[in-house]
Chain A
Amino acid sequence: MNWLDNNILTLVTFAPAVGGFLLLFFPRRDRDIRVFALVISLLAFVLSLHLPAHFNRGLAGFQFDKDVSWISSPNIHYHMGIDGISLWLIVLTTFLTPLCVLISWNSIHDRVKEFFILLLILETSLIGVFTSLDLFLFYFFWEATLIPMALLIGMYGHGRKVYAAVKFFLYTMIASVFMLAAILWLYAKTGSFDFLVVQNAIHSGAIPEFSGAAPLLLFLGFFLAFAVKVPLFPLHTWLPDAHVEAPTAGSVLLAGVLLKMGTYGMLRFNLGLFPVQSRANASWIVVLALIGIVYGALVAMVQPNMKKVIAYSSISHLGFVVLGIFSFTQAGLNGAMFIMLAHGVSTGGLFMLAGIIYERKHTYEIAEFGGLATPMPKYASFFLFIVLASVGLPLLNGFVGEFLALSGAFQAKVWWGVVGATGVIWSACYLLWMYQRVFFGIVKHPQNNSLPDLHLRERIALWPTAIMALAMGVAPLLWLNTIDPAVHNVLAPFTQFASKMVGQ
């Protein structure tokens, strides 16, 4: 058991990539490849369940720690470990990937092998981002997510897929170069890439050069890379393109996990390394987040394309996360974390549902549908359930997070909470309106009458999201009791900082 605890993070992280590597040598029999990919992704999921099962909720620091020297010059370590924040993001990734495999079962019929190899490599790099505690290792995985994602969009997408893929790649790549520069600066001054060592050095004031403009520039270097990923207004323009043109599995992972890399990074690195600068810059960041919430929602409302509605809703929802993080309150951060998970589940579900209808009609245009509840009742009920979860109906997962994040915002500044709360109303407007136009009324186009309802494989892919949406809404404490101590830990320097201010 001890050996497993020591190496579980390595196993979870690299199991998918090893599976992808084995796929290379498979003959091109599409069915076998799909089954194998499903088995591997399920294996990764089962392995990842070891983490919450054996996670010590009483400890605040990092667990399942693994630290071995990898490269001696520069001093790079293979350092992995998780706390209550990264724990659930890992499980979210492994939870969504098997569903992605299922949902791509028939919709991907060309170059199947390459597709699943890319998907599995993507999974490894996503998990790696959340497990790394070495800044270099983190950057390594961070960049490694780019290539498979861009290829998934560019090779298997539709419409202007090449444009979307290149835009996605360049946006995120250019922004992360600034993060690399900041990481290198920190390494040059501390001689270490280790997150904890660097954090200690900064907090104890051991870096004499950490003064003047340097801390602000470092903060911004990290922040820019994360803000593009989130995406924060006005850096969001890659997202609608990437989402709309991506294949379903790509959209699910993009919205479900990739965007959370940005908010996770803010939580871990911006707050963790630069508390003073985070506090000082919170006001304009929150303003951008609020603009994102309202603007994303308003733009979502007028979209004629189902996938674009969901894409813009992501911008709006991620705005809540940033708002919660930069409120620096326990409730706000808990809420931000919870929204990340809830959004992953419900938006993942929405994208899968959109993908299912696309497989049948080859369009996302809302005007092409109408009255679908008659020919596809099961589909309609799943869709309604997930829409309600996303809107934030109490007892479903969206509600808990938004409530917490907004209460945090109210504690910080009342007007932040007021503006943010309008976002809840907007999201009800655009999602329910879209639902009404697609499902209610009479069937507008006669050929839609013959659309087949969900078949078994699709139902198997959708049930887990529905169950999770309900479970997270009914028993949020199962998640929050690990998130809360970790968040408390992140906030510790802020409370010290606040008491210092009061003391003066």
Chain B
Amino acid sequence: MMAIFQTVPALPQAVDYVRILPEIVLSIFGMIIMLLDPVMDERRSQRTLGLIGLVGTIAALAATVYQAQVRFWGLGFFGMIKVDAFSVFFHFVVIAVTLLVILSSYEYMEVQQIRAGEYYGLILFGAVGMALMSSAMELVLIFIALEISSISTYILAGFRRRSAISSESSIKYFLLGSFATAFFLYGVALMFGATGSTSIDRISAALAEYAGTGHGPLLAYLGVALMFVGLGFKVAAAPFHVWTPDVYEGAPSPVVGFMSTAPKAAVFAVLLRIIFEIHAPGGTWLIWVAAALSMCIGNIAALVQDNVKRLLAYSSIAHAGYLLIAFASLPANGIPAAMFYTASYAAMNVGAFAVIGHFAGAGERFVTLEDYAGLGKRSPVLAAILTVFLLSLIGIPITGGFFAKFYVFSAALQGSHPLIGLVIIGVINSAVAAYYYLRIIVVMYMREPRDEEAPVTPISTGLGFALGLSLAVTFFLGVYPNPVLKYAALSVGLLH
């Protein structure tokens, strides 16, 4: 915090550029794709540009690893950016998700006959915004990053141009999303009014003066509430979740895998900063209510869904609820628990949507539960893989989903004021949730296929890699969560 009050140099230092190296790499590759797209043969561009996108994400991952060295930690660009274990963790999650999504999009785009190279460019630009969100220390910069990531995903959601529901999905997401970002911006403005700054460090220092009195300035309460509305929309937390099922249903499956994990991880990173670093007043109760509502609404609505994408949309609302429990806990346990949850949720959800995208076939015609009947027989390998992801979403041991829930619940039970009520709601909800995930497994394995069955195509190399990676991560987090949790725990001291 001291760094901010020292005299800052007039120009950015060289090391500052290392601190945004992953973003730079992603932007460069994104621009290469955009420049090459118009000059390339349309039929061949898809493959080449996808490959460039792939190389770009791998380079960005390498940049993140390089940046992770402790000597590069610290504030950059006059205190607007901070690189530390926290930002590196989320960079890694976001870029890894991008990598998986590009791998699984390859085959999907061919099957759907979407010939548009800018798809990969948009994914990379989206990733830039999300990565920036996790290292930004300025509310205005956070807003810009949020917009970069959102605008990319608005367009991506409408990429199945021939389908009406995809366009509906895009428009809906765009209108409601802009509305929500406006809320966020309004919240930032009020916060500025209350504390005289948009820098997270300064806001935190300004609010610390009120620490002894037990309440903050009224404007700050309002500001936090409005920011929470905007961010709550982005993570699909109830009561700001209404857009989710429609948007997820219409958007291309790999994109759903992308936008249900990477932007969420980034927004949760922002939320962690606002809750734990600013010590936002009144945050705990907002989160308590949002967590309880998200879990209940998400799970109950998911029970009656027949469309697998809609079902997983409601499940993602519920998962946002579980995750929010960690935000209401003490920072020492809540921060690593939340970070671990985003990582493991990212692995299993991207994987699940990759499988769904493969099963869906041309035009995404096969996405209802009925279409999944007998898949265990027709496509045993993919069915088994999807089963693992679903079991992980339930939270069955030896999958990452188990430890994710475990850490969140145990974080909530620690401290002098354990959140027993919230944990009970959460535990009951995870039992309810088991039912609808199991329904998919049951249909796949125990129901005979219909007469008109969805065609089963072989898995392409890219998809195979994507599934293998997410499967490996899901199991790794479920068997040996130690290293990831330890790395996440480094952030505790950094944030508060």
Interface segment out of the listed A70-78, A286-294, A423-431: A70-78
Contact B446–A187 (Cβ < 8 Å): no
Q: Which residues of B contact A185 (CB under 8 A)?
A: 413
CA distance A143 to B405 in the complex (A): 15
Contact A154–B410 (Cβ < 8 Å): no
Chain B: minimal CB distance from A137 (Å):
10
Q: Which residues of A contact B486 (CB under 8 A)?
A: 72-73
A165: Cβ under 8 A from any B Cβ: yes
Contact A184–B410 (Cβ < 8 Å): yes
Interface residues of B in 402-447 (CB under 8 A from A): 406-407, 409-410, 413-414, 418, 423, 427, 430-431, 434-435, 438, 442, 445-447
Contact B446–A147 (Cβ < 8 Å): no
Given known A-B contacts A140-B397, A144-B397, A184-B409, A170 and B377 have beta carbons under 8 A apart: no
A155: Cβ under 8 A from any B Cβ: yes
Interface segment out of the listed A100-108, A173-181, A265-273, A387-395: A173-181
CA distance A146 to B407 in the complex (A): 22
CA distance A140 to B396 in the complex (A): 8
Q: Which residues of A contact B398 (CB under 8 A)?
A: 140, 144
Contact A161–B446 (Cβ < 8 Å): yes
Contact B434–A173 (Cβ < 8 Å): yes
Chain B: minimal CB distance from A142 (Å):
9
Chain A: minimal CB distance from B112 (Å):
31
Please tell me which one of the listed residues B445, B481, B489 contacts residue A154 in the complex, with CB atoms under 8 A apart. B445
Q: Which residues of A contact B427 (CB under 8 A)?
A: 177, 180-181
Contact A177–B410 (Cβ < 8 Å): no
B455: Cβ under 8 A from any A Cβ: no
A18: Cβ under 8 A from any B Cβ: no
Contact A139–B397 (Cβ < 8 Å): yes
Q: Which residues of A contact B447 (CB under 8 A)?
A: 162
Interface residues of A in 123-148 (CB under 8 A from B): 139-140, 143-144, 146-147
Q: Which residues of B contact A144 (CB under 8 A)?
A: 396-398
Q: Which residues of A contact B485 (CB under 8 A)?
A: 71, 73
Given known A-B contacts A74-B410, A154-B445, A165-B446, A147 and B376 have beta carbons under 8 A apart: no
Contact B396–A147 (Cβ < 8 Å): yes
Please tell me which one of the listed residues A70, A71, A146, A155 contacts residue B446 in the complex, with CB atoms under 8 A apart. A155
Interface size for B (C-beta < 8 A) is 31
A36: Cβ under 8 A from any B Cβ: no
Q: Which residues of B contact A154 (CB under 8 A)?
A: 442, 445-446
Interface residues of A in 235-287 (CB under 8 A from B): none
Chain A: minimal CB distance from B274 (Å):
25
Given known A-B contacts A155-B445, A177-B430, A166 and B438 have beta carbons under 8 A apart: yes
What per-residue 1/0 map shows which CB atoms of B368-399 lie under 8 Å from chain A?
A: 00000000110010000000000100001110
Q: Which residues of A contact B442 (CB under 8 A)?
A: 154, 162, 165-166
Kindly count the residue-residue contacts between A and B in the assembled complex, taking CB atoms under 8 Å apart. Answer: 68
Contact A71–B410 (Cβ < 8 Å): no
Chain A: minimal CB distance from B337 (Å):
11
Q: Which residues of B contact A114 (CB under 8 A)?
A: 380
Given known A-B contacts A72-B486, A73-B486, A155 and B376 have beta carbons under 8 A apart: yes
CA distance A187 to B396 in the complex (A): 19
The A interface is mostly helix, strand or loop, or mixed, namely helix
Residue on A nearest B397 in the bound complex, by CB: A140
What per-residue 1/0 map shows which CB atoms of B274-294 lie under 8 Å from chain A?
A: 000000000000000000000
Chain B: minimal CB distance from A139 (Å):
7
What per-residue 1/0 map shows which CB atoms of B59-70 lie under 8 Å from chain A?
A: 000000000000
A169: Cβ under 8 A from any B Cβ: yes
Chain B: minimal CB distance from A478 (Å):
36
Q: Which residues of B contact A166 (CB under 8 A)?
A: 438, 442
Chain B: minimal CB distance from A186 (Å):
11
Contact A188–B431 (Cβ < 8 Å): no
Contact A169–B445 (Cβ < 8 Å): no
Chain A: minimal CB distance from B81 (Å):
29
Residue on A nearest B383 in the bound complex, by CB: A114
Chain A: minimal CB distance from B267 (Å):
26
B482: Cβ under 8 A from any A Cβ: yes
Residue on A nearest B336 in the bound complex, by CB: A73
A151: Cβ under 8 A from any B Cβ: yes
Chain B: minimal CB distance from A133 (Å):
17
A111: Cβ under 8 A from any B Cβ: yes
B179: Cβ under 8 A from any A Cβ: no
Q: Which residues of A contact B397 (CB under 8 A)?
A: 139-140, 143-144
Chain B: minimal CB distance from A234 (Å):
20
B17: Cβ under 8 A from any A Cβ: no
Contact B431–A174 (Cβ < 8 Å): yes
Q: Which residues of B contact A162 (CB under 8 A)?
A: 442, 446-447
Chain B: minimal CB distance from A162 (Å):
4
CA distance A497 to B480 in the complex (A): 41
CA distance A143 to B401 in the complex (A): 14
CA distance A274 to B210 in the complex (A): 47
Residue on A nearest B442 in the bound complex, by CB: A162
Q: Which residues of B contact A111 (CB under 8 A)?
A: 376-377, 380
Q: Which residues of B contact A140 (CB under 8 A)?
A: 397-398
Interface residues of A in 22-63 (CB under 8 A from B): none
CA distance A188 to B409 in the complex (A): 11
Chain A: minimal CB distance from B289 (Å):
23
Chain B: minimal CB distance from A191 (Å):
11
CA distance A147 to B377 in the complex (A): 18
Q: Which residues of B contact A174 (CB under 8 A)?
A: 431, 434
CA distance A188 to B415 in the complex (A): 9
Residue on B nearest A114 in the bound complex, by CB: B380
CA distance A74 to B411 in the complex (A): 10
Chain B: minimal CB distance from A251 (Å):
17
Chain B: minimal CB distance from A297 (Å):
32
Contact A170–B446 (Cβ < 8 Å): no
Contact A188–B445 (Cβ < 8 Å): no
CA distance A173 to B430 in the complex (A): 10
Chain B: minimal CB distance from A352 (Å):
24
Residue on B nearest A110 in the bound complex, by CB: B377
Residue on A nearest B418 in the bound complex, by CB: A188
Chain B: minimal CB distance from A198 (Å):
15
Residue on B nearest A144 in the bound complex, by CB: B397
Starting from the known contacts A71-B480, A162-B446, 6 additional A-B residue pairs (CB-CB under 8 Å) come to A146-B396, A154-B445, A155-B446, A174-B431, A187-B410, A188-B413
Ordered by A's residue number, 25 sampled pairs between the chains whose C-beta atoms are within 8 Å are A71-B480, A71-B481, A74-B406, A111-B380, A139-B397, A140-B397, A140-B398, A144-B397, A144-B398, A154-B442, A154-B445, A154-B446, A155-B376, A155-B445, A155-B446, A161-B446, A162-B442, A162-B447, A169-B434, A169-B438, A170-B435, A177-B431, A184-B410, A188-B410, A188-B414
Closest 3 CB pairs of A and B: A154-B446, A140-B397, A162-B446
